[in-house]
Chain A
Amino acid sequence: MNKKTLLGGTAAAIVAVVAAGVGFADIRTGDSLVINGEIQIVTETAPPAFLEGVFNTVYSGWVFRTDETRAMQADDFDNPAMLYVEQGQTAFDTPMGTEGKSCASCHDNAESLAGVRATYPKWDAAHGAIQTVEMQVIECQTERMGVAEPYGYDSQQMRNMVALIASVGRGQTVNVAIDGPAADAWEKGREIYYTQYGQMELSCAQCHENNYGNLIRADHLSQGQVNGFPTYRLKNANIVSVHNRFRGCIRDTRGEPYAIGSPEFVALELYVASRGNGLSVEGPAVRN
């Protein structure tokens, strides 16, 4: 009698797991994110062509978070990252460098850069390289504004500025070009994504492709999308850049991370961003 009940219970549990999708036992999908009651955010969408057969759906990291964390992102007053966006806005309007120009001198206002976050990293013909938003900021500072000491790639000021540029682009669809001149870097990024690093011999894919939705210690693994960066991490009480997060992941494999701003991380950022083509720009998002 007891045996029968147990068996029945196991069968029911298996059905439940299958119905929810592998590794999605306690992740709730299907919710929609609307920021400030007006910006519609796509948090679940069909995968880009090169990921067909790998994912049925690509999910923003937002889907993997608790109700409380999700709610913080839905209202700018509750999103702690907006404090840094404000500081970025102040810097945007403040002249810097020998040319006496501010960002606003050329770009009028931050809203004019609304399309930027969705398409970066991007091939820059003049430099013959893939440029991230951070590199673009440094380029403006050194080549057009006469700033002797541009922002450090992962400095607070840089993160504030990138958060501002992301915030005005929220709701735009991530659409990073992976063909043409970007193809080489993209291929390099893909190789890094699938390379196992460190003493733990872990690749990005082993966690974020094969085990998303499962627990890693007490936390749910996401698909590792970067559409929400720079991200306010509650554990840091600050905003965190994409490369800082990459470095953290490789460090956790007990590997030697690439440097922040290195060509390897730029290539990886391009590749990972392209995995989220079709999601909305969410940055600055709120995550654990």
Chain B
Amino acid sequence: MAENIVPRVRVPRDAKAGDVVSVRTLISHPMESGLRRGSDGNLIPRQIINRFTCTFNGATVVDVTVHPGVSTNPYFQFEAKVDASGTFAFSWYDDNGSVYTDTAEIAVA
């Protein structure tokens, strides 16, 4: 299950200074809750994204604590005010210690 974990982000290419832009993110991930049992009757170990963060030019935009109730392939959408051109950096923290990252540039006129 661990394969095929791919983050995706969508941010507008450009915006005007002070604009509020919509940021959409999606990561393919099983989000195994740790509460389900497999066909052998044993619990399937929990493996979820437990934290999601987004920064813009180093400043935190969102920092989300994620719990097992969140479904497969978690999708986050939020808004961010942009004052200058820069880079959104996204991180997803996996229970198994992996951190998946992605970035997106935005040009502010």
Q: Are A80 and B6 in contact (CB under 8 A)?
A: no
A80 to B31 alpha-carbon distance, docked (Å): 15
Which listed residue (B6, B26, B71) contacts A77, Cβ 8 A? B26
Is residue B101 within 8 Å, beta carbon to beta carbon, of the partner chain? no
Q: Are A86 and B73 in contact (CB under 8 A)?
A: no
Q: Which residues of B contact A86 (CB under 8 A)?
A: 6
B8 to chain A, nearest CB (A): 7
Q: By the criterion of a CB under 8 Å from any partner CB, how many residues of chain A are at the interface? A: 7
Q: Are B73 and A83 in contact (CB under 8 A)?
A: yes
A77 with B10, Cβ < 8 A, contacts A83-B28, A87-B4 known:
yes
Among residues 1 to 43 in chain B, which have CB atoms less than 8 Å away from a CB atom of chain A? 4, 6, 8, 10, 24, 26, 28
A237 with B8, Cβ < 8 A, contacts A77-B24, A77-B26, A83-B28 known:
no
A264 to B57 alpha-carbon distance, docked (Å): 59
Q: Are A237 and B4 in contact (CB under 8 A)?
A: no
A78 to B72 alpha-carbon distance, docked (Å): 14
A288 to chain B, nearest CB (A): 15
A286 to B4 alpha-carbon distance, docked (Å): 21
A53 to B19 alpha-carbon distance, docked (Å): 54
A258 to B24 alpha-carbon distance, docked (Å): 42
Q: Are A77 and B73 in contact (CB under 8 A)?
A: no
**Residues 89-133 of chain A: 1 if any B CB is under 8 Å from the residue's CB, otherwise 0?**
000000000000000000000000000000000000000000000
Which listed residue (B6, B10, B26, B71) contacts A237, Cβ 8 A? B71
Interface of B is mostly: loop
Q: Which residues of A contact B4 (CB under 8 A)?
A: 87
Interface of A is mostly: loop
A133 to chain B, nearest CB (A): 23
Among residues 73 to 89 in chain B, which have CB atoms less than 8 Å away from a CB atom of chain A? 73, 75
A69 to chain B, nearest CB (A): 14
Q: Which residues of B contact A77 (CB under 8 A)?
A: 8, 10, 24, 26
A83 to B30 alpha-carbon distance, docked (Å): 12
A238 to chain B, nearest CB (A): 8
B75 to chain A, nearest CB (A): 8
Q: Which residues of B contact A237 (CB under 8 A)?
A: 71-73
B88 to chain A, nearest CB (A): 15
A87 to B72 alpha-carbon distance, docked (Å): 16
**Residues 37-65 of chain B: 1 if any A CB is under 8 Å from the residue's CB, otherwise 0?**
00000000000000000000000000000
- Residues on A facing B (Cβ under 8 Å): 77-78, 80, 83, 86-87, 237
Can you name 17 A-B residue pairings with CB atoms under 8 Å? A77-B8, A77-B10, A77-B24, A77-B26, A78-B24, A78-B75, A80-B73, A80-B75, A83-B6, A83-B26, A83-B28, A83-B73, A86-B6, A87-B4, A237-B71, A237-B72, A237-B73
- Residues on B facing A (Cβ under 8 Å): 4, 6, 8, 10, 24, 26, 28, 71-73, 75
